[in-house]
Copies of this chain bind each other. A is one copy, B any other.
Amino acid sequence: MDFRSDNVAGIAPAILAAIAAANAGSASSYGEDDWTKRLQSKMNELFEREVAVFPLATGTAANALALAALAPPWGLVCCHRLSHIEEDECGAPEFFTGGAKLAPMDGAHGKIGAGDLARFLDGYGFGVQHHVQPAAVSISQASECGTVYSVAETRAIAEVCRRHRLALHMDGARFANALVHQGASPAEATWKAGVDVLSFGATKNGAMAAEAVVFFDPARATDFLYRRKRAGHLFSKMRFLSAQLVAYLEDGLWLRLAANANAMAERLARGLASLPGTELAHPVEANEVFVRLPRPVRERLAGAGARFHPWVSAGADAIRLVVPFDADEARIDRFLAVAAAAQAPTP
């Protein structure tokens, strides 16, 4: 009953098998191998256009490198106040961009709104040398509150971006979970809605350590290989990164894993919501449940071995439950049973 994060889970069996399979014979290093070529083809197919794909091993690297490609050192990147790039990357975007600033914005349930963004940018001092210059917007899909931007919401944000010539970045650490919720195609959810660059996450959803930065316009990616290398993110045995991603995409594995996590999160949320004294802090649209629970329930759960983090930004008595790709009904129901027992009146 470990719900601390999706990254407490291990590797999906098919992905581990792909690593083993890739371990046959010698292969060209630094991305000149066949697995990386296959990954490129698969991504082109997936997104229905030619894209530029760069395998990486961490989400922070993907986000920070992507933003560095979009914002100059005097750039400003708009994002949600709770976003990973603002809160949880120890200043990686600032490091990689050479000192760009983030403009954290408010917005319900972890999402920024196109209207708020427009108001901010319409009043901004573009071209004034005293001010950093807005260069990009970054949205998290799914958000840090477990919610999902609809395609329409993404498109509305993209339109504001276009109007002010900003690039739109999507932090897709939980992109698969969001996509499953949306029911949209990868292309519809991204470039067709105006996204310029995607941090395509796989680690949280079953990979060992594999992400990719996907540029929908390869022309934007010209210098990316130098940025990646000088950041120490070019893997010599890259086939093992690419193999993970290939297996992840093969036969829809990524969507099946995400669909399971989402379904288990929904089951968990439904069960908790039915208990007296509990309240969901955010809609459950991906694989995260933010719920306010009475202290006795939290304590009983902890006592029974359940693991989770308190989450004060969702309320003083709130916890975050992240459901991993390999959760099953038994695990969820065990957790719910403990919670229900804690709620029952002691006779």
Name A residues whose Cβ lies closer than 8 Å to a Cβ of B: 2, 4-5, 7-11, 16, 19-20, 22-30, 56-65, 72-74, 87-92, 94-102, 123, 129-133, 203-204, 208-209, 223, 225-237, 240-241, 312, 324
Copies of this chain held together in the complex = 4
- CB-CB nearest in chain B for A57: B57
In-complex Cβ contact of A29 among B7, B72, B132 (8 A): B7
Contact, CB under 8 Å: A209 / B240: yes
Please indicate the chain B residues that have their CB under 8 angstroms from the CB of A95 in the complex. 73, 98-99, 230-231
Contact, CB under 8 Å: B324 / A26: yes
Contact, CB under 8 Å: B65 / A91: no
Other A-B pairs beyond A94-B100, A129-B228, 13, CB < 8 Å: A7-B237, A10-B23, A10-B24, A16-B20, A57-B235, A58-B235, A91-B99, A94-B99, A95-B99, A95-B231, A98-B99, A132-B230, A208-B237
Contact, CB under 8 Å: B208 / A240: yes
In-complex Cβ contact of A132 among B91, B132, B228 (8 A): B91
Please indicate the chain B residues that have their CB under 8 angstroms from the CB of A11 in the complex. 19, 23, 237, 240
- Cα A19 to Cα B20 in complex, Å, equals 10
Please indicate the chain B residues that have their CB under 8 angstroms from the CB of A223 in the complex. 72, 74
Q: How far is the CB of A175 from chain B (nearest CB, A)?
A: 16
In-complex Cβ contact of A90 among B26, B97, B131 (8 A): B131
Contact, CB under 8 Å: A73 / B100: no
- Cα A236 to Cα B84 in complex, Å, equals 14
Contact, CB under 8 Å: B57 / A90: no
In-complex Cβ contact of A233 among B28, B232, B234, B237 (8 A): B232
- CB-CB nearest in chain B for A94: B99
In-complex Cβ contact of A10 among B5, B22, B58 (8 A): B22
Known: A27-B10, A74-B226. A129 touches B90 (CB 8 A): yes
Contact, CB under 8 Å: A230 / B7: no
Q: How far is the CB of A93 from chain B (nearest CB, A)?
A: 9
> Could you list 7 A-B pairs, sorted by A, with CB under 8 Å?
A5-B236, A61-B232, A90-B230, A91-B230, A98-B99, A132-B226, A133-B226
